[in-house]
């Protein structure tokens, strides 16, 4: 049985109902849909960010609250936090059609951005524009899973669109050297784009490092270095 049920009749703005049915009783809470599902997947999110109302309902649409007697019978407590956690982990989350559509569109854009950042056209060595990746996804009839993370889906999507356009995921190794007057800010510059695999301070105060970045960020990385150091940083692309 699916954990998610689309409900056209639910119309609570950005709020949806999470519901748990047990021993013939129904218990509902009002939640933020994405944060509720992130919590369910193990993400550490404070309940105050998830719950739209600190009440346990029998019927949230009618505003009918669950009695303390029923809460004690099923949950053995009247503590809202404990009960809400149980409902979030074991219950169903309802979404309106519009909420589902918006969340799918947002997830699609996240996947496109991941591929644009991390992939190149192997024929040219240049990244694909996001619009080209989107068109390839449409042509490949890519179906987005609402509840899998964009990172998980990106690799599957990549395999599908490789049948449409030449594209591959690639990391670049780049050696950089910052003169003494920019060595202090060098790390913060490269950290925004990738990871430093090794580095060294030279006797003249210069800082040199080998940086690994997503291939799609090559142009922006070089442009940022030139802007931040007035063109004085040295850059060399390393081939494995």
Q: Domain boundary residue among 110, 144, 169?
A: 169
Cβ within 8 Å of residue 157, ≥6 positions away: 111, 115, 137, 142
CA atoms of 116 and 96, how far apart (whole Å): 30
Q: Is the pTM of this model over 0.85?
A: no
**Region 144-154: what's the mean pLDDT?**
87
pLDDT band of residue 192 (cuts 50, 70, 90) is confident
Alpha helices (H) along the chain: 33-40, 47-50, 68-75, 80-90, 97-118, 130-139, 150-161, 180-191, 218-229
Does residue 125 share a domain with residue 91?
Answer: no
Choice between 185 and 68, residue whose per-residue pLDDT is larger: 68
Q: What is the pLDDT of residues 196-212, one digit of tens each?
A: 989 999 999 999 999 99
pLDDT band of residue 228 (cuts 50, 70, 90) is confident
**Region 118-131: what's the mean pLDDT?**
92
Does residue 67 share a domain with residue 12?
Answer: yes
The candidate with the shortest Cα–Cα distance to 225, out of 217, 234, 216, is 234
Domain that holds residue 106: 98-169
Does residue 29 share a domain with residue 106?
Answer: no
**What CATH number did the domain enclosing 129 receive?**
1.10.10.900
Does residue 130 share a domain with residue 196?
Answer: no
Tokens linked to 183: 């060595």
3-state secondary structure of 72: helix
Q: How many CA atoms lie within 13 A of 4 on its CB side?
A: 16
Tell whether the model's pLDDT for residue 135 goes beyond 60: yes
3-state secondary structure of 233: coil
CA atoms of 107 and 144, how far apart (whole Å): 8
Q: What is the pLDDT of residues 161-180, one digit of tens each?
A: 999 999 999 888 999 999 99
**Region 1-22: what's the mean pLDDT?**
60
CA atoms of 127 and 217, how far apart (whole Å): 8
pLDDT band of residue 6 (cuts 50, 70, 90) is very low
Does residue 226 share a domain with residue 158?
Answer: no
Q: Domain boundary residue among 31, 63, 95?
A: 95
Does residue 102 share a domain with residue 90?
Answer: no
């Amino acid at each position: 049985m699916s954990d998610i049920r689309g409900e056209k009749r639910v119309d609570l703005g950005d709020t949806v109902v999470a519901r748990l049915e047990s021993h013939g009783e129904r218990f509902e809470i009002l939640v933020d849909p994405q944060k509720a599902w992130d919590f369910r997947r193990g993400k550490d999110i404070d309940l105050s960010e998830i719950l739209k109302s600190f009440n346990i309902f029998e019927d949230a649409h009618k505003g009918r609250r669950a009695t303390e007697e029923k809460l004690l019978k099923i949950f053995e407590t009247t503590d809202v936090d404990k009960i809400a956690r149980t409902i979030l982990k074991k219950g169903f989350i309802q979404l309106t059609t519009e909420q589902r559509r918006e969340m799918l569109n947002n997830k699609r854009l996240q996947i496109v951005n991941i591929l644009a950042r991390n992939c190149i056209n192997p024929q040219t060595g240049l990244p694909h524009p996001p619009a080209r990746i989107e068109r390839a996804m449409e042509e490949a009839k890519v179906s987005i899973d609402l509840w899998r993370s964009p990172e998980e889906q990106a690799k599957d999507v990549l395999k599908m669109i490789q049948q449409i356009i030449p594209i591959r995921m690639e990391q670049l190794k780049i050696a950089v050297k910052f003169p003494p007057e920019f060595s202090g800010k060098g790390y913060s510059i490269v950290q925004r784009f990738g990871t430093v695999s090794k580095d060294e301070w030279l006797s003249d105060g210069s800082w040199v490092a080998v940086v690994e970045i997503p291939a799609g960020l090559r142009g922006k990385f070089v442009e940022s270095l030139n802007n931040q150091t007035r063109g004085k940083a040295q850059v060399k692309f390393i081939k494995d």
